[in-house]
Structure 1
């Protein structure tokens, strides 16, 4: 386990590994195995300045000194979009009580200069703006975008504390799984009625509130039908690599979600009997 004082470093931006925005390993596929390529780490300070660094080591190996020496400031224009005129501004006075979704910075090293990171952020905001006008109770609520230095540094969403998987593991007997699946299906049908496919349905993207109400979050892969996907699908929840946004992607995922939920309940019931 990494320690904050592993190398005695007290200088630099990062004082704790827990304060990093991301810490990600990347692998190279080779015949019969995957080989570690490199590690990337990102950090965002109190003024929403973003930093990126990389190293040729595994997650367990970096020191705070290495991280701080490697981090370099990311130019705002590389990751933050200029807000369109009709962008909803988040009416928030503090960072408490909501989730601030920022651009995914872990791939910045290979995407810098391509304008892909700000495009992904803006595409998701456009979907959320449409859903704000056409809401559904089982889709995450968008509070608006957060603007700083003339650019969108992220957007605010309602915060939820646990995934559907965590809820089912905690107390499956008291959870209305059938009702939850119906809510998920209803949300997906609503997206389809707006000409959108979700394209990344899996338990990690389904949250449960304190009243056991299910909500689909993370619309980063949600796009109009037929649009080419920059990213979409999660291994184990798709049957092939997803190239375009299609209804069929969601239908396949929904079947897998139903089977997964039934399996979760069945395995717990079997444990209870034993």
Structure 2
């Protein structure tokens, strides 16, 4: 369960069960006033209110989730809720253990890619305003706010022409990345957003890396156990684009075939002795 309070604090609660289905506790992560917290509660989610949740939280070491701001990186302008979306690092209770900098490494990798894309903009790639900082560390990435993601947009009903245009825009965004020697590596309907004018925008660049570099984060719904997916590559994006095309243009369902003895209704009634 994820929720946000009136003061902008963000909370994420996940219940943990054993292999036998026995409840083992609720893991909690939170952002409060720009600081990261994590904790574990012996209570179930529905039995806790905000006060209960907060009492189990402990500060997460900043270096675990917030990378240091490199020299020369862009600082975001003052937050404008109508135009800006602040992307926070995604972390779990396990990520809060001292010395675990995986989340910070991923956030820095994404910020580095976005800094490069800011120098080479494209209409099908999300606009990056800069990094939000606290002290000398990056806490959020400030991005152009989009209307919704492709999964949500598709649900409202789109014409064939609209779907074709969206697919072209997605392909053009991917080709632009490839021209810079980058692969997105996680192209899927949830990582494509739609702006207020109905144009497709590639988002979520935490798996984006130069060709040939080892992936530090798995692709959505895919394991990193396959050697061919361990490296950043064009092929990852082409497979993702094919998946998006399949999503936008699902194959028509084959007609249901009736058993042979149901092909002739008249024969069926005769067999049943019905005149």
Q: What's the CA shift for 1:106?
A: 2.1
Q: What's the CA shift for 1:188?
A: 0.8
Q: Note the alpha carbon deviations across 1:34-77, whole angstroms, 9 max, x for none.
A: 9877642222223x122111246765565545422211112322
Q: What's the CA shift for 1:96?
A: 5.0
What does residue 23 of structure 1 align with? 13
* Whole-angstrom distance in 1 between the partners of 2:117 and 2:88: 19
Within-5 A mapping of 1:185-264: 185-235=171-221, 242-263=229-250
What does residue 27 of structure 2 align with? 40
* Whole-angstrom distance in 2 between the partners of 1:199 and 1:263: 22
SS in structure 1 at match of 2:159? helix
Q: Which aligned segments of 4 or more residues in structure 1 are displaced greater than 3 angstroms?
A: 18-21, 24-28, 33-39, 55-66, 93-96, 107-112, 236-242
- Evaluate the alpha carbon distance shift between residue 66 and residue 251 of structure 1 in structure 2; reply closer, same or farther with a 3 A threshold: same
What does residue 36 of structure 2 align with? 50
Q: Note the alpha carbon deviations across 1:210-254, whole angstroms, 9 max, x for none.
A: 211110111011111121212121117999583221111111111
What does residue 272 of structure 1 align with? none
- Evaluate the alpha carbon distance shift between residue 111 and residue 190 of structure 1 in structure 2; reply closer, same or farther with a 3 A threshold: farther
Aligned to 2:112, which of 109, 112, 126?
Answer: 126
Q: Note the alpha carbon deviations across 1:143-174, whole angstroms, 9 max, x for none.
A: 00111122111110001121112222113138
* Whole-angstrom distance in 1 between the partners of 2:48 and 2:183: 39
- Evaluate the alpha carbon distance shift between residue 110 and residue 79 of structure 1 in structure 2; reply closer, same or farther with a 3 A threshold: closer
* Whole-angstrom distance in 2 between the partners of 1:135 and 1:15: 35
* Whole-angstrom distance in 2 between the partners of 1:106 and 1:145: 22
* Whole-angstrom distance in 2 between the partners of 1:237 and 1:230: 12
Structure 2-normalised TM-score?
0.78
- Give 5+ residue unaligned stretches, structure 2: 254-275
Within-5 A mapping of 1:153-164: 153-164=139-150
- Give 5+ residue unaligned stretches, structure 1: 5-13, 268-274
Contact persistence 1:53–1:71 (CA under 8 A): yes
What does residue 145 of structure 1 align with? 131
* Whole-angstrom distance in 1 between the partners of 2:224 and 2:123: 25
Q: What's the CA shift for 1:175?
A: 6.1
What does residue 7 of structure 1 align with? none
* Whole-angstrom distance in 2 between the partners of 1:52 and 1:103: 13
- Evaluate the alpha carbon distance shift between residue 20 and residue 91 of structure 1 in structure 2; reply closer, same or farther with a 3 A threshold: closer
- Evaluate the alpha carbon distance shift between residue 255 and residue 76 of structure 1 in structure 2; reply closer, same or farther with a 3 A threshold: same
Structure 1-normalised TM-score?
0.78
